[in-house]
């Protein structure tokens, strides 16, 4: 009667474990921390029925595969092998079965549970061997170590039912302690957080920006080579002066009303006094030309700077070579005329 009651309780618990469809239908994968399959090697210590092996415990190994099937239930499938010798008499016990684990608090790292299972057990003595069905009940806990690792320890009581009279009795009671380390094959599924998107802010009233301030005046410096204006050692302008004509048109334009400085230079050939006068006469010649083209003479200033600010130094003794060597100076200092004009 006692054995029938134990079997009924174990069967009811196992049926609840293996038939979680109603629970699963109402939960999503995110209600289970990690729905992946896991593998769990175990170390097993078996206290068999004393009629098998006296008071000698069996040591063994186990291997189980498990999976969370609902927020409260795990299913585990696997078995164990255990061996012991007692005074030269060898006893072997192997099991293969399925267990249902009811976890009281899956959200915590420490997860106590109750279990119920069913399976087949092979018991072997030196002269006889028998495989028989069993039911078991037990309790234990899981200890979470990381997202993919946890430890499990349990104590279970197994009732084995023998067919026939192989061992001289019809049932056996076994106590087993199992300690295992479990590894999930996949990382846990994390729910995607819902990003709150605030409604767009109303468009601000657009105010037309003020008009930009006028660009500051800038100055353009125009340099003319003396060879384009005068003969060597002369302040007489050549008859055709297209560049000076262009400058005159610019100075008379409606967008330009500033003052202009015309500067003349000479090279070092000749005395300082002579070169100063020559540079002044050349500057005056350009000023007069621009005035003749319509530029107001009061806006024009003529300055001669003689042989100042040379850019090259030449020591040629032959005059023709010296004149050729000083050509850059004539461009820049001696025969260079600089006109400043403001450009908008």
Determine the length of the chain.
344
Does 207 map to a domain? Answer: no
CATH of the domain at 231: 3.30.1330.60
CB 50: neighbour CB atoms within 10 A? 11
For residue 191, the model assigns a pLDDT of 67
As a whole number of Å, the end-to-end CA separation of the chain is: 115
In this structure, are 224 and 336 located in the same domain? yes
Does 213 map to a domain? Answer: no
For residue 330, the model assigns a pLDDT of 56
Bridge partners (DSSP) listed for residue 172: 160
How confident is residue 259, by pLDDT bands cut at 50, 70 and 90?
confident
How confident is residue 221, by pLDDT bands cut at 50, 70 and 90?
low
Average pLDDT over residues 105-116: 93
In this structure, are 107 and 6 located in the same domain? yes
Total structural domains within the chain: 2
How confident is residue 342, by pLDDT bands cut at 50, 70 and 90?
low
d(CA 85, CA 66): 32
**Three-class secondary structure of residue 43 per DSSP:** strand
Among residues 329, 119, 137, 341, which one has the least CA distance to residue 220? 341
Give the end of a domain, one of 184, 210, 229.
184
Write the burial class of residue 87 (CB in 10 Å: 0-12 exposed, 13-18 middle, 19+ buried).
Answer: exposed
Among residues 280, 325, 287, which one has the least CA distance to residue 306? 280
95 or 275, which is more confident? 95
How confident is residue 18, by pLDDT bands cut at 50, 70 and 90?
very low
d(CA 115, CA 26): 23
In this structure, are 91 and 240 located in the same domain? no
How confident is residue 3, by pLDDT bands cut at 50, 70 and 90?
very low
Its pTM stands at: 0.49
Greatest Cα pair distance in the chain: 147
Task: Specify the range with the lowest mean pLDDT, choosing from 13-17, 154-158, 162-166.
Answer: 13-17
In this structure, are 176 and 237 located in the same domain? no
The parent domain of residue 275 ranges over: 218-343
d(CA 52, CA 162): 13
In this structure, are 95 and 148 located in the same domain? yes
State the alpha helices, DSSP H only, in the chain.
Answer: 2-18, 21-25, 50-53, 226-229, 242-251, 272-292, 319-325, 327-329
Among residues 46, 89, 85, 41, which one has the least CA distance to residue 66? 41
How confident is residue 98, by pLDDT bands cut at 50, 70 and 90?
very high
Q: Report the mean per-residue pLDDT for the chain.
A: 80
For residue 49, the model assigns a pLDDT of 86
Give the end of a domain, one of 158, 184, 210.
184
In this structure, are 26 and 132 located in the same domain? yes
In this structure, are 140 and 46 located in the same domain? yes
258 or 123, which is more confident? 123
CATH of the domain at 30: 2.40.160.20
In this structure, are 222 and 169 located in the same domain? no
In this structure, are 62 and 113 located in the same domain? yes
In this structure, are 13 and 99 located in the same domain? yes
Give the end of a domain, one of 169, 184, 199.
184
For residue 201, the model assigns a pLDDT of 84
For residue 165, the model assigns a pLDDT of 78
Average pLDDT over residues 9-33: 48
């Amino acid at each position: 009667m006692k054995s029938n009651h134990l079997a009924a309780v174990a069967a009811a618990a196992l049926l609840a474990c293996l038939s979680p469809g109603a629970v699963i239908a109402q939960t999503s994968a995110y209600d289970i921390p990690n729905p992946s399959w896991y593998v769990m090697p175990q170390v097993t210590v078996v206290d068999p029925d004393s009629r098998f092996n006296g008071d000698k415990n069996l040591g063994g190994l186990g291997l189980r595969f498990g999976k969370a099937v609902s927020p409260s239930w795990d299913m585990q499938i696997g078995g164990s092998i255990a061996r012991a010798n007692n005074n030269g008499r060898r006893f072997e016990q192997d099991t293969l079965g399925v267990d249902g684990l009811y976890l009281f608090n899956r959200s915590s790292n420490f997860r106590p549970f109750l279990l119920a299972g069913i399976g087949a057990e092979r018991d072997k003595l030196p002269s006889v061997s028998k495989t028989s069905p069993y039911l078991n009940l037990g309790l234990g806990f899981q200890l979470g170590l990381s997202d993919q690792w946890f430890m499990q320890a349990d104590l279970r009581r197994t009732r084995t039912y023998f067919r026939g009279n192989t061992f001289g009795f019809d049932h056996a009671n076994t106590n087993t302690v199992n300690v295992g380390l479990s590894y999930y094959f996949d990382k846990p599924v994390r729910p995607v957080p819902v990003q709150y998107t605030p409604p767009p802010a109303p468009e601000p009233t657009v105010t037309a920006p003020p008009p930009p301030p006028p660009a500051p005046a800038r100055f353009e410096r125009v340099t003319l080579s003396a060879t384009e204006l005068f003969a060597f050692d002369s302040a007489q302008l050549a008859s055709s002066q297209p560049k000076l004509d262009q400058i005159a048109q610019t100075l008379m334009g409606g967008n330009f009303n500033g003052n202009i400085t015309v500067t003349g230079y000479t090279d070092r050939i000749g005395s300082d006094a002579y070169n100063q006068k020559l540079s002044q006469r050349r500057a005056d010649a350009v000023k007069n030309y621009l005035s003749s083209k319509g530029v107001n003479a009061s806006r024009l200033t003529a300055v001669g700077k003689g042989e100042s600010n040379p850019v090259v130094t030449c020591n040629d003794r032959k005059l023709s070579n010296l004149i050729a060597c000083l050509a850059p100076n004539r461009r820049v200092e001696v025969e260079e005329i600089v006109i400043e004009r403001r450009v908008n």
